[in-house]
A and B are shown apart, each in its own frame.
Chain A
Amino acid sequence: MIHRSLNVPHLVACLLVGATAVLLCFGALVTTYDAAMAVPDWPATYGHNMFLFPFAEWFWGPWDLFLEHGHRLLGALVGLITLALAAVVWLQSPKEASLKSTVRGLVVAAVLLVVLQGLLGGARVLLDDKTVAKVHACTGPLFFAVAVAIAALTGRNGTSAATGPSIESRVSLGLLGAAYVQLVAGAQLRHLDVATVAPATFRWLVAIHVFGAVAVMALAFAAAVCCRGQASPGARRWSLAIAGLVCCQVALGIGAWFVSWGIPSGWLPAAWMPSEPLAARSAGGAAVITGHVVLGMLILGVAVALAIATGLFAGRGTRVALQPRPPRDGRPERAYA
Chain B
Amino acid sequence: MIKARHNIVLLSATAWLLLVAVGCGPTPSASFRPNMVEATKQRLTVDQERQVATVLLAMFGTPDDPVALPETGLDESKLRLAAGPVRSDIVGRKNGLYREHCAHCHGVTGDALGPTAAFLNPYPRDYRPGVFKFKSTERADKPTHADLVRVLHNGIAGTSMPSFALLPEIQVDALAEYVKYLTIRGETELALMRAFFELDDDAGGKLPETREFLVYETLTPAAEKWRAAADAEIQVPEMPSDIDLVASIAKGKELFYGDKANCVKCHGVTGLGDGQANDYDDWNKAIVEVEKEVKSGAAKAREASTAGMSPDELAEHRAQLAWLEKFHGVLDGDALAPRTIPPRNLRHGIYRGGRRPLDLYYRIHAGINGAPMPAAKGTVPPEDIWHIVNYVRSLPYELDGELGADRPMVARDRF
Contact = CB atoms under 8 A, between A and B. Distances in A.
A195 B155 contact: no
Contact of B115 (A64, A102, A197, A262): A197
B4 A315 contact: yes
A277 B354 CA distance: 11
A195 B115 contact: no
B163 interface: yes
24 contacts: A34-B86, A37-B85, A37-B88, A40-B90, A62-B92, A64-B88, A128-B87, A129-B26, A135-B22, A138-B18, A193-B30, A194-B108, A195-B108, A196-B27, A199-B114, A262-B162, A275-B348, A276-B155, A277-B162, A279-B155, A280-B101, A280-B166, A313-B4, A316-B3
A129 to B, nearest CB: 5
A230 interface: no
B1 A318 contact: yes
Nearest to B336: A199
B121 interface: yes
A139 interface: yes
Interface string A120-140: 000000011111101100110
B289 to A, nearest CB: 22
B296 interface: no
B237 interface: no
B116 interface: yes
A129 B27 contact: yes
Nearest to B6: A315
Contacts, number: 190
Interface string B120-134: 111000000000000
Interface in A14-54: 34, 36-40, 46
Contact of A180 (B18, B167, B348): B18
A203 B87 CA distance: 26
B164 interface: yes
Nearest to B355: A275
B158 interface: yes
Given A192-B115, A280-B167, A281-B167, A128 B85 contact: yes
B87 A275 contact: no
B12 to A, nearest CB: 8
B92 A199 contact: no
Given A181-B18, A264-B121, A275-B349, A38 B166 contact: no
Nearest to B2: A315
A191 to B, nearest CB: 9
B121 A64 contact: no
Given A102-B8, A131-B26, 12 more contacts: A102-B4, A128-B87, A177-B14, A184-B19, A194-B115, A195-B108, A262-B161, A277-B155, A277-B156, A312-B4, A316-B2, A316-B3
4 tightest A-B contacts by CB?
A277-B155, A202-B115, A195-B30, A37-B87
A229 interface: no
Given A135-B22, A180-B18, A265-B158, A39 B88 contact: yes
B345 A270 contact: yes
B176 to A, nearest CB: 15
Contact of A188 (B1, B22, B99, B158): B22
B113 A199 contact: yes
Nearest to A271: B348
A109 B8 CA distance: 11
Contact of B15 (A36, A130, A142, A315): A142
A333 B167 CA distance: 60
Interface string B1-43: 1111101100110110011001111111110000000000000
Contacts of A203: 115, 118-119
Q: Tell me which of B28, B115, B158 has the highest count of chain A C-beta atoms within 10 A of its own C-beta.
A: B115
B345 A279 contact: no
Q: Tell me which of B29, B86, B154, B161 has the highest count of chain A C-beta atoms within 10 A of its own C-beta.
A: B86
Contacts of A262: 120, 159-162
A291 interface: no
A177 B13 CA distance: 11
B336 to A, nearest CB: 9
A102 B1 CA distance: 9
Nearest to B16: A142
A316 B350 CA distance: 65
Interface string B152-188: 0011111111111111000000000000000000000
A203 B345 CA distance: 31
Contact of A34 (B89, B100, B108, B154): B100
B7 A98 contact: no
Nearest to A169: B7
Q: Tell me which of B28, B119, B122 has the highest count of chain A C-beta atoms within 10 A of its own C-beta.
A: B119
Interface in B346-392: 348-350
A269 B25 CA distance: 44
Contact of B121 (A105, A177, A265): A265
Given A196-B27, A264-B120, A264-B160, A138 B113 contact: no
Q: Tell me which of B24, B116, B161 has the highest count of chain A C-beta atoms within 10 A of its own C-beta.
A: B116
A220 interface: no
